[in-house]
Chains A and B, each alone.
Chain A
Amino acid sequence: MATIATAVASAHAPGVTGWFEKASPAAQQSVGDAFTALGDQIADARLDALLIIANDHIENYPPHDYPDFAVGVGARHSGPDEWFKPWLNVADYEMPGAPDIARTLFEQLAGDSLRVVSAETMKFDDNISVPVTMTGFATQKIPLIPIMQNCTVPPVPDHRASYAFGQRLGRVIREELPPGLRIGLYGSGGLSHEPGGPRYLSIDEEFDRWFLSLLADGDHEQVLRQATHERMEAAGAGGTAELLSWLVVMGAIGEHPCDVLCYEAVPDWRCGVGAVRWTL
């Protein structure tokens, strides 16, 4: 059986790469150190592939025909998409994919109540570009498998559906992938923000700190009871629910302790920025 060798999550707010210096020096230090710690953990895990689960942001699919999850099965992945370059201010990156692993994941995950598709090529905005840049993963040459998630186009697979998808993902990794493989999981998105909505310039710091403390407690049933999709939407419509990608990771690994590495509410970033890692 394959092993889930590391599991982490972080925000992917574009301000973290695009206008990092708008934060105080202390906030820059805290967030920079957290991403460095995630990068070290990924490097030390000797992974055969890292799965990054992230909101698609209506980038690869039109809203009238929107899948719940899309697995990137290509041999190479590159970014960021051209239009996002001046906004994100990250170096271009090209990373190896893991087509065999990705196809097995896709074939085993497709066909239940959720709509799961696959794609050879995908466009990436902040969803993949911020984490791979800030952790240094973009240059580590570890194979990447992007999994794009619908966190924002109604009807969104909610907290329990996302967690259940994660449970199936965990089972497929452990039972269907070749023995000895080491897989990493990275939930990318959140925390509170409302892109394009009336609270676009606001952060719900109280929700964010509450959510992170709930995760640190490690009781997943409590997380699912309290940190509902509805509660996420109340803390910033359309954006905060990217935390559903964190729930996918939690479903895959099961209950484990979680360390909160940072949290900063920088007004100019327009998004609560935090990062966690689970002890497996």
Chain B
Amino acid sequence: MALEHFSTYFDRDLATHRLVQDLKADRDARELLHRDEAAVLDAYDLLPAERAGIEQRDFRALYLLGVHPYSLAQLARLLYGTVEGAGASEASSALVESLLRDEPAPS
């Protein structure tokens, strides 16, 4: 199934958006995310599918649930790390690989 434009799925009320904004602003929470991810996620009212998407790094599922792509890109960097001086970093590659997982091969 080809992904539609993100606005088809966008759900502004998903707690993932707040999670990402909070993590960007809080170094301690970012460190905790890497030590004890569940403890960070427990503090948010995530839908079960939303939480599973984060835990499984299933960005495609999160996109289909309605997480905004900007927040997805930042979530990927929060989970995989920001690599200094990197272009196509591990975070962006993992994100795109997940998003295109079930796409038909280009003709």
Contact = CB atoms under 8 A, between A and B. Distances in A.
Contacts of B87: 15, 19, 22, 267-270
B103 interface: yes
Contacts, number: 96
Given A19-B86, A58-B21, A197 B92 contact: no
Nearest to B24: A83
A195 B70 CA distance: 6
Contacts of B35: none
A237 B69 contact: yes
B92 A270 contact: yes
A81 B93 CA distance: 24
B85 A197 contact: no
Contact of B25 (A83, A153, A238): A83
Interface string A250-266: 00000000000000000
A240 to B, nearest CB: 12
A25 interface: no
Interface string B38-52: 000000000000000
B80 interface: no
A82 B28 CA distance: 13
B70 A58 contact: yes
B73 A196 contact: yes
B100 interface: yes
Interface of A: 15, 18-19, 21-22, 57-59, 62-64, 66, 81-83, 86-87, 89, 152-154, 194-198, 200-201, 233, 237-238, 267-270
